[in-house]
Every structure is written in C-alpha cells, then in structure tokens.
Structure 1
Amino acid sequence: MALVLWSHPYSAYGQKAAVALYELGLPFDLKLVDGSAGVMEGFLAVSPFAKMPALIDTEANRTVIESSIVIEHLDRRAGGGRLIPADPDAALETRLIDRILDVYVGGNMNRIVFNRLGRAGTPNETAMAQDAAELQTAWDMLEARLADGRTWGAGETFTLADCGAAPLMTYARRLVPFGDRPRLKAWHARLMARPSFIRALEDAAPFGDLMPAPPAVD
C-alpha cells in the first residue's frame, strides 16, 4: 500500500486525517499506535514528537507529520483543489478555520483532558477553567464566521476545515457545550451526517469511549 497512516482510530487528529483520506477516496493501511514498546519505537522513528497522525507515502518517498500538512499532501496527491481550494481567498479562509480548530478547540480540549486524567498530578482547576473559557471564545468565533450562511466551515465545499472540525468539535463539545449557538450546532449536525466522518467513527467504535466526559446533551 502506497499510503501508511500511523495513528489510532480514536485520536481526534488521526480521525481528521482519516476523514480526508475517505473524502479523497485514497486507500491506506493503518499502522495502529497502541502504546506498546515495539510499536512506539517505530512510531518515534517517523514522528519524533510522538504526535498522531504521521503519514508515509511510499510512492513519493516522503514522511509527513502534522494533520493539516498531511491533508495538504493528500489533496495534492489526489489532484489538488478539493480539500484546499484553488482560489487563494477561499484557501486562506480554509486555513484560518483549520487553525482556530486545531489551536483553540483541539489545544484547549487536550489540555483539559490531560488535567482530568491526572497526567500531571492533581488536576489544575484554574488551568481547566481558563482552557474552557478559551473554548467558549472559539465557539463564538466560529458562530460568527458561519453568520454569512456558509454550508461548511469555510464556504460551500467540504474542505480541510471540515476534516478537523468533525472530530474536534464532537469531542470538545462534551467538555464545553455549544450552548445557544444555532449555526454551530447546524454545522456540526451536517458533519455528523458526512459519510467520511461516519466511517471514521465506525473505525473508532471497537475501542470504546475513551473521552473522560459524558456525551453532549445540548
């Protein structure tokens, strides 16, 4: 197989890459990062910071890390212009939404989870409250960007921004609910119905529910 994805099906950023692969119709082999010593040794060789996902493209003789860069590479491999719009302004909006999601949704979410799991000792309630407040700001920013009536995260086509939004929003809203943000809720509902994300969730289902927070109710 020309494409090998080092990841775990429950990883939000791994799901982000998987959604892109399914959207583009690119077959791939999953190298499951299960935490075992032998696997981690190989994973660190391709991803020195031990961050998922990492992509090996044997045809291009290239290893790509960081989910957004992985998706840019995949989009080019598939002919370009699908997940990264050809129009420069549309591409800029796509990358902006992607960065909001990665940094202010995913970043804050991961820090809250890190604290809740006690990875650094006694959970830091002050830090978690700060991260939750930043997540609220991210929800507000996204709700405002959606006010122009766009169907997807960056416009009328499904892009890089939506690949990340699907898993990151799904998990983060379990920590900080969407609240009274109807446009955000409607976008998320469209993401939940997207076949590529449904497949990514099906891939993760055998691993159970690893999120230390109850399902969202808003």
Structure 2
Amino acid sequence: MAQFRALSPFAKMPTLVDTTTGETLYESTIVIEHLDRLAGAGRLIPAEPGAALEARLVDRMVDTYAGGPMNRIIPRKFRPAGHEDPFGDAQDAEILAGAWDWLEARLADGRTWGAGETFTLADCGAAPILTYARRLVPFGDRPRLRAWHQRLMARPSFVRALEDAAPFGDLMPAPPAED
C-alpha cells in the first residue's frame, strides 16, 4: 500500500504510470484523456465542441452522482458494528437513484452510447461505475439505462477488464445486481 500511495496520493484506482513519458496519472477522466491523446486524439473526446461537452457532461454526472455515492457507501460497509451510517447510506442510495433517472432521461433521445452515436470518454468512465454501483442500487425500471449498460458489457475491451478484475470481485461488499 505504501508503494501505491507513493503513486496515487489517495490510493485510488485507476492509476497509470506511463513509462514512456515518466508521467503518473490518476483519476479516470485524466487517464482516459491521456490515452486518447496518445491514440491521436478525437477518438474518445470528440473533436466537435458540442459533442465533446456532452461526453464530458455525462462523464462528470456519472462520476459525481453515481461514483461519489458508491465510493461513500462501500467504505461504510467495512465499519465495525455500531458505527454504521444507515442515514448516510439512504441519502447516497437516493442520489444514486437520481443518477439513474438522469441517465434514463438523457438516453431517451435514442443515442447508442452515453454521449451520442460514438463511444467516448463518457462510456469509458461509466462502464465500471455502472457495473458496481448497480449492485448497491439496482437500475430498476430503466430500460434505456439497462440497454446502454448491456452494450458496454459487450464491448471486448470491457469484457477483458472484467475478466482481469474477476479475482477481486468478491471484495465488493454487495451482491451481484439482480435486475
């Protein structure tokens, strides 16, 4: 852990060490933007300004209103008996449900991916958060959100990421989603 904290000040993932440039990057959006730049730019962050803003908006909304509550609920599950926070858990579950509602409404225009017809930064950041946060607050009756998540789950890159993460799946203190 000490070695990891030396790389990532808050000991959070993802953390990327680019051995070519000597840069250490953390936080999903920054890592994705770095990789997009290396790939020639314009692949994950659209070149068109409006599309780029939509990709960043969906990314920020998912990270803040789904990832934020998830990252508060999970550590509370590891607290010793007598130190639980049911009120905080309920508040965060409500915020997560609101994020699901916002995404369901955003997807109502028929878009294929989180920010439109092109796979973007929004999808890269959303895939892991949606996968794990829905274990805490299921998607429920949100068919567009469920369909987007299914498309994300079918992407070969995410399939591989899930396979790589499988040995650590039992560390998530919530049962697999049933919806």
Quote the Cα distance in structure 1 between the aligned partners of 2:63 and 2:13. 13
Quote the Cα distance in structure 2 between the aligned partners of 1:214 and 1:203. 19
Q: Partner of 1:211 in structure 2? A: 172
Instruction: Answer yes or no: is 1:117 the counterpart of 2:81.
Output: no
Length-normalised TM-score, structure 2: 0.94
Instruction: Answer yes or no: is 1:150 the counterpart of 2:111.
Output: yes
Q: Check the 8 A contact 1:114/1:120 in 2, yes or no.
A: no
Match for 1:167 among 128, 131, 145?
Answer: 128
Quote the Cα distance in structure 1 between the aligned partners of 2:174 and 2:2. 31
Which blocks of at least 5 consecutive residues in structure 1 are unaligned? 1-39
Q: Check the 8 A contact 1:93/1:154 in 2, yes or no.
A: yes
Q: Deviations over 1:145-172 (max 9, x none)?
A: 1011000000111111111211111111
Length-normalised TM-score, structure 1: 0.78
Counterpart of 1:110 in 2: which secondary structure?
A: helix
How far apart are 1:136 and its partner, in Å?
0.7
Structure 1 runs of 4+ with >4 Å offset: none
Quote the Cα distance in structure 2 between the aligned partners of 1:83 and 1:188. 18
Q: Partner of 2:60 in structure 1? A: 99
Quote the Cα distance in structure 2 between the aligned partners of 1:143 and 1:214. 23
Quote the Cα distance in structure 1 between the aligned partners of 2:155 and 2:82. 39
Match for 2:37 among 51, 68, 76?
Answer: 76
How far apart are 1:211 and its partner, in Å?
1.5
Query: What does residue range 1-218 of structure 1 map to in structure 2 within 5 Å?
Result: 40-118=1-79, 122-218=83-179
Quote the Cα distance in structure 1 between the aligned partners of 2:115 and 2:90. 29
Bigger RCO of structures 1 and 2 (CA < 8 A, at least 6 apart):
1
Quote the Cα distance in structure 1 between the aligned partners of 2:176 and 2:146. 15
How far apart are 1:208 and its partner, in Å?
4.0
Quote the Cα distance in structure 2 between the aligned partners of 1:121 and 1:174. 24
Q: Percent identity between the aligned chains?
A: 73
Counterpart of 2:11 in 1: which secondary structure?
A: coil
Going from structure 1 to structure 2, the CA distance change for 1:125 and 1:202 (only over 3 Å counts) comes to same
Q: 1 or 2, which has the higher helix percentage?
A: 2
Which blocks of at least 5 consecutive residues in structure 2 are unaligned? none
How far apart are 1:98 and its partner, in Å?
0.6
How far apart are 1:121 and its partner, in Å?
6.0
